[in-house]
Structure 1
Amino acid sequence: MQSGLALLLIGIQLVYAGKHSLQYFYTATSGLPNFPQFVSVGLVDEQPFTYYDSNIRRETPRQDWMAKSEGEDYWEQQTQTLTGTEQSFKNNINVAKERFNQTGGVHINQVMYGCSWDEETGDVDGFDEHGYDGEDFFSLDLKNLRYISTVPEAHITLVKVNNNKALLEQKKQYRTQECIEWLKKYLQYGKSTLERKVSPEVSLLQKSPSSPVTCHATGFYPKEVTISWQKNKQDHDEDVDLGELVVNEDGTFQKTSTLSVKPDDWKMNVYECVVEHKSRTIRSILTEDKIKTNYAPVPIGIIVGVVAVVLLLVIIAVAGYKVYQKNKGFNPVNASDDGSNSSAHSDPKA
């Protein structure tokens, strides 16, 4: 499993030109007051399009195109599915605490699953990654059709699931066929939105006159962007720190690149930040009059606030239809429990 899941599921698999993804993020929490005990977020090409939590107890659309494309039956079935999943995950997080010999404190059980489709080559892939308390727990090796883990506490789950060949085949069928069909349907629903191009807004930011200078690009879509620096019209890679891609609340993206050179250096030379996006290329020459110097009070607050929102939304997820009540443990739901009219899917619990 990728380390991105361990980092509160921020490391969403990247979607490049021609490649699309359908992902579900489920999280169960314990010991977090004033926060839902269970949340589900669905994303198409990294755009949130469905949402459910244990407070509202209703699957809801997060895109106008989704609200217009599916009727009440769809939302009712999705809600029933996630209501059962919510109960399963509340049980599973208690089981995990027992396995790790934990009592009180804050604990998080996370799942990310779904599929990807390369429109240009036709290649398909699937994923199912489980995490607990910010660490990798176990994941599906789709190529060899088995669940794997390096965590001793996951052994009970691995034995149970890997011995259920019918369940493993179901996981493969869902990720390589059914999930792909739903992905293509959702892409068609949101075609005008998902294929849009929005240019980035670029700013040069600095905390203080002696601080590094950050080139901040935000509000762009799709997410593919390149931020680089030039010194006297030559590529400059030294003293450059490229930031992570961050999702904004409106579904657009932001990214930064920080240049750590002394002010005397960039004042005596021509430094330029170059932002290349599908919509256009923006070049910003580093000069004092272009720098926003009161960086900390406003832009940083905005960025941190957006990151917090993403953390809270994408820290949230799970899959499953019914509470499996036979034995205490992280139990897979039988293949017969799947609903053919639902895009969600039952999976082994973390």
Structure 2
Amino acid sequence: PHTSAPRPLLTPPPSLPPFLLLPHHLFLPSLHSRRVLDTVVSEPGPGLPWYSRVVYVDDQVIYVYTSGMQRAEPRPVWMAQNEGPEFWDERTWWAQRHQKWFKASLNTLGQLYNQSEGFHIIQMKYGCDLREDNTTWGFYQDSYDGRDFLTFDTESMTLGAADIGAQITKRRWDAEVFDNQQWKRYLEERCIPWLRSSLEYGKETLQRKGKMGDKPYPEASNTV
């Protein structure tokens, strides 16, 4: 059975917002990290699907889903060898669910910012770090057209809003403590075990010293 997804951030309609230019402060020194990057564009083109999900461990893409593929697919051999059909079915299910939310998000954000046409991009980025002192850190951030939209602080359990449109969303989500706790639980309790599993699967290439968090990851459009 599937666990419940985080409740949509924007209503109506159901949706999950966004992220484009990744600010440097997201790449604090870490030993290992896991990142999920969801991207949706209003005008897809060659090599640029309207929706994509790219999951990284350190600087390596471990699986990809796009609106064209309609299926989550592993990238490194060690990921394919260690996870069976049930795992990939569940990853596909989650990606397809977020895909629907993102499609609605384009309309919702267009209404918030009074935009009816043109190229627009929303991205959501979240994940966790395992640091050299064995402490962990989780984060959530999204953006619209390359501008910061929302950030989630796991300590204060609140969202930071970048502008008026984000403040509308923030007021709703801050009032829903269950949703905030669900994100906190994911970032602090689920993300790190998944990261550790991937590190074990790919230990020959991933279990190396270094501060992988110091450099940005490739853009999703270049890896899909």
Q: TM-score under structure 2 normalisation?
A: 0.82
1:80 Cα deviation from its structure 2 partner = 1.1
The residue aligned with 1:184 is 196
Higher strand share: 1
> 308, 312, 315: which one pairs with 2:221?
312
1:72 and 2:72 equivalent?
no
1:156 Cα deviation from its structure 2 partner = 2.0
Report sequence identity in percent: 31
Alignment of 1:192-341 (within 5 A): 192-195=204-207, 310=219, 312-313=221-222
The residue aligned with 2:65 is 52
Write the deviation string for residues 210-249 of structure 1: whole angstroms up to 9, x where unpaired. Answer: xxxxxxxxxxxx677xxxxxxxxxxxxxxxxxxx9576xx
1:99 Cα deviation from its structure 2 partner = 0.7
The residue aligned with 2:172 is 160
Question: CA–CA distance in 1 between the matches of 2:63 and 2:33?
Answer: 14
Question: CA–CA distance in 2 between the matches of 1:50 and 1:15?
Answer: 23
1:75 Cα deviation from its structure 2 partner = 0.4
Question: CA–CA distance in 1 between the matches of 2:220 and 2:128?
Answer: 22
> 122, 132, 151: which one pairs with 1:109?
122
1:154 Cα deviation from its structure 2 partner = 1.2
Write the deviation string for residues 118-161 of structure 1: whole angstroms up to 9, x where unpaired. Answer: 2x422111110000001111110122111111310112211111
> 121, 134, 140: which one pairs with 2:152?
140
Higher helix share: 2
Which amino acid is 1:310 matched to?
E
1:41 Cα deviation from its structure 2 partner = 0.3
1:186 Cα deviation from its structure 2 partner = 0.8
CA contact (8 A) 1:10 1:311 kept: no
Question: CA–CA distance in 1 between the matches of 2:220 and 2:77?
Answer: 23
CA contact (8 A) 1:29 1:37 kept: yes
1:104 Cα deviation from its structure 2 partner = 0.9
The residue aligned with 1:20 is 32
Question: CA–CA distance in 2 between the matches of 1:174 and 1:311?
Answer: 22
The residue aligned with 2:137 is 125
Q: TM-score under structure 1 normalisation?
A: 0.54
CA contact (8 A) 1:15 1:45 kept: no
Gaps of 5+ in 1: 198-221, 225-243, 248-308, 317-350
Question: CA–CA distance in 2 between the matches of 1:121 and 1:145?
Answer: 24
CA contact (8 A) 1:49 1:61 kept: yes
1:36 Cα deviation from its structure 2 partner = 1.0
Larger Rg: 1
Question: CA–CA distance in 1 between the matches of 2:78 and 2:172?
Answer: 40
The residue aligned with 1:173 is 185
Aligned residues between the structures: 204
CA contact (8 A) 2:37 2:220 kept: no
Which amino acid is 2:122 matched to?
N
CA contact (8 A) 1:31 1:104 kept: no
Change (3 A) 1:176 1:166: same
Gaps of 5+ in 2: 1-18
Which amino acid is 2:71 matched to?
R
